[in-house]
Structure 1
């Protein structure tokens, strides 16, 4: 086996590994060497490397030297995101296909973990009796680029032998039930999410996905609406998260949803649940009156202030992307003054992300007053890069020379594959379109 390729796989360097994989013959990748690389990537926990290996022709059916096959190993070890990647092979024509019963087999392997204590089960597998001492290590590990994580438990015996597992078997069971067309009832999905009660865990996210995407939305809405004032904080966090996810599509129960959410805006004290309520309320409202959100613009939790700064974009118009008339007047827009004042206040918040969110909302809005321009000029020297970028974008879109100059200077230093680079590129495209428009008139 290529030692360098193995090191890259174990390190999760997918870009460099891809470059070397292209030089490996297909029949080699489909054999023992590819199988060893796949195992290394799975044990290290790199889903993106697993994806690249499967795309390159590695066979997910091939058993490892100890007799385990990849799907069974992932189901047993609680590697939920990797298991989903393996099972997605049947949706990708150029990959090696899995047997039709692979998902059902994985479900049979994962389900027993829901009824055992993982530490006790690992002790049993190591053959360590209750009286013998072991070292138990718990580590939170990321499983996606967007923040999901799980916990890895490792039990080490006195003689150095160890066994480990990830605590995402509930996510695996939920995913596989949905895939097989037999999703659990909402109360059971809630119970699975609440077992570890972590809104960023795989278990929580998978229950959310099934409720929002695989069950009848009106039925799910009624179930969640009945629980929004539940005394359990974890329950309120979960059901408000469900209501928020349901709001991403146009729904016939929009009016009822707003009636349910409006009282929660005033009553909810938990920041996580409140964040969900604000997001859902704004999404169901759409282009409309969001003054109900304004009292939270001074919430002590910065996450809430960030949410308000972003969601108020739905309460204001968008800046025209076509070329303004020569020497245009300030653009009039019938936005409630308290909304504008709130955004200006948030654009000077002590929290970096809140300032950036408010400036982004103002930058893309139809609000063009001298006060807004002065604010953006002041923020060109903000200590937080994203805030400086949004200030420059906002001024440039208003054809302000200071903004255009700042945009060019920032663009010369920014990489395209970064958030800053993408924002600058977006604004530059609009400005280029305006220049072309002016030439044609």
Structure 2
């Protein structure tokens, strides 16, 4: 094992290089000391995807790290939620006596019980660990308790918040919908309102619970509260002032309502808050059936969003054009202007949109991207495969084009 370059790539956060180097490591070397050293380094650096890869490849999580550190205990005490989940993927039945899941749950709960002042940096995610492991072990907490855990740090970008939403998303029923609407209507607490709206959005994902095999949401063509959800959210498009809550309202409304009604979100395409504009662009891209010649207001909004200063917003708008049947000189000019966009995703969508319309200006950019791809992990590899497939379909005999 070429340990020095692997450790250097981990330290730099260069996961692609780590994975490329690991491709050349013989399986027997993943049982030795160097592999354990690499696993520890990846965990300490918070490189959870590298940890996941190493554990999947057979690195022993039960072997202590330097100084006698037990990996699972360290991650649970540290509140390193994604690293811990990666360490546990090959740990067998969590219900068996002495499972590392039980040990991790005890350690995370003990860390919560002894919490002191928060150190600089993101707060540890002990509550996310507890919520996840309790569910794995068959312990299901009430919506109020899961919300209380999310609100300790009250950060929508924190794992405690996200894990509570995940657990609630597995319980998409009428009772939980009613609870979420009540919380989302609580004008006394912005954090509670945000969490209630986020829960409404999560419920529509229709997640099948890995903990309750009898709860199969795939049996529903439509969740029983879909119409009520759209009716609850529609007025908030006009009244919500908090940017975070408004982003959630836009996303949730677009997912619950029929495609033709998604146009209601266009009122926020020029919102002052960048995240709101980004959300509008993303939802329009998801509902690409709206991006047609008979929807000029949708096309106009996407043209403006394609010029947004936020790269992801531009990329979403250009993706919507890639997937659209509309072909006009004006639209081609918009895409051509982004062939040299500094953002990779925007650039590849602009090139794809032109190439799919038979415009030769897009092909050289796609070819340049193709030459830079080394393997399936290279930037743009997956998207380029999709685009190449669409180009082949367009070129098949009998294709009528756009």
Q: TM-score range by the shorter chain?
A: 0.7 to 0.9
Q: Which runs of 5+ in 2 are unaligned?
A: 207-221
**Structure with max Cα Rg:** 1
Match of 1:224 in 2: 180
Match of 1:212 in 2: 169
> CA 1:303 to 1:181, structure 2 compared with 1: closer, same or farther past 3 Å?
same
Q: How does 1:14-413 map to 2 (within 5 A)?
A: 14-15=18-19, 18=22, 21-22=25-26, 24-25=28-29, 29=32, 35=36, 37-63=38-64, 68-90=69-91, 101-119=99-117, 138-140=120-122, 151=123, 167-213=124-170, 215-231=171-187, 232-249=189-206, 250-313=222-285, 316-317=288-289, 333=292, 335-380=294-339, 382=341, 384-413=343-372
**Aligned counterparts of 1:37 and 1:383: Cα–Cα separation in 2:** 34
User: By how many angstroms is 1:430 displaced?
Assistant: 1.6
TM-score, length-normalised on structure 1? 0.74
Task: Number of aligned residue pairs: give it.
Answer: 378
**Contact in 1 for aligned 2:3/2:38 (Cα 8 Å):** no
Quote the RMSD (CA, aligned, Å): 3.4
User: By how many angstroms is 1:186 displaced?
Assistant: 0.9
> CA 1:99 to 1:61, structure 2 compared with 1: closer, same or farther past 3 Å?
farther
Describe the superposition over 1:125-176 as per-residue Cα deviations: whole angstroms up to 9, x where unpaired.
xxxxxxxxxxxx5234xxxxxxxxxx4xxxxxxxxxxxxxxx1111111111
**Aligned counterparts of 2:327 and 2:2: Cα–Cα separation in 1:** 60
**Contact in 2 for aligned 1:288/1:315 (Cα 8 Å):** no
Higher strand proportion, which one?
1
> CA 1:24 to 1:292, structure 2 compared with 1: closer, same or farther past 3 Å?
same
Deviates more, 1:346-355 or 1:5-14: 5-14
**Aligned counterparts of 1:44 and 1:314: Cα–Cα separation in 2:** 35
Deviates more, 1:202-211 or 1:412-421: 412-421
TM-score, length-normalised on structure 2? 0.80
User: By how many angstroms is 1:247 displaced?
Assistant: 1.8
**Aligned counterparts of 1:5 and 1:424: Cα–Cα separation in 2:** 29
User: By how many angstroms is 1:258 displaced?
Assistant: 0.2
Describe the superposition over 1:239-277 as per-residue Cα deviations: whole angstroms up to 9, x where unpaired.
222222222234221101101111111121111111111
